[in-house]
Structure 1
Amino acid sequence: METPPDLQVYDLGHLGLVASILDQIGLVQTVDRFVGPRPGEKVSTGMALKAAIL
């Protein structure tokens, strides 16, 4: 009787794929263009939206 092969499975998740799609469609830049910068902000609105989606 043969022993089954030793397999390792890794869960890479979907975050890299979603982040890549958001970059390709230019979500951060589009939102930042519509909203504009705000005084004293350290993170742009577009980047905060991307983080919320992820």
Structure 2
Amino acid sequence: MEATPDLQVYDLGHLGLVAGIVDRVGLVPLVDERVGPRPGEKVSTGVALKAAIMNALGFVSSPLYLFGHYWEGKPTEWLQGHGLRP
């Protein structure tokens, strides 16, 4: 028998659509160009804005200090496209 590759399945819901629209309109590079890099940043302002938009359209009522928990279990590397992990 042939070994099957590791398969991971994620429920994207509407997040794939939102990420695709944000990418299509070019919001991340536009914001990054206008704001520029900040010293010590781990992600650019544009990527952080994309994450905030996706969180806001996630229809959750959790406070902002739990923002990192929102991304646990979601394919952040695929949605953000920058190798980011929660």
Superposition TM-score, scaled by structure 1 size: 0.76
| Structure 2 residue runs without a partner (length 5+) | 1-10, 55-86
* Number of positions where the alignment pairs a residue of Structure 1 with one of Structure 2: 44
Map Cα deviations across residues 17-42 of structure 1 (whole Å, 9 max, x no partner): 01001001100000000000011101
**Structure-2 separation of matches of 1:16 and 1:35:** 26
1:53 is the counterpart of 2:53: yes
Change in 2 beyond 3 A, CA 1:33/1:15: same
**Structure-1 separation of matches of 2:25 and 2:49:** 14
1:3 aligns to what? Answer: none
Q: Greater Rg, structure 1 or structure 2? A: 1
Cα RMSD (Å) of the superposition? 1.2
Equivalent AA in structure 2 for residue 17 of structure 1? L
Superposition TM-score, scaled by structure 2 size: 0.49
1:21 is the counterpart of 2:21: yes
| Structure 1 residue runs without a partner (length 5+) | 1-10
Report SS of the residue matched to 1:43. Answer: coil
> Greater RCO between the two (CA within 8 Å, min separation 6)?
1
* Residue 13 of structure 1, CA deviation: 1.4
Report SS of the residue matched to 1:47. Answer: helix
User: Percent identity between the aligned chains?
Assistant: 77
Runs of 4+ in 1 over 6 A off after TM superposition: none
**Structure-2 separation of matches of 1:21 and 1:50:** 10
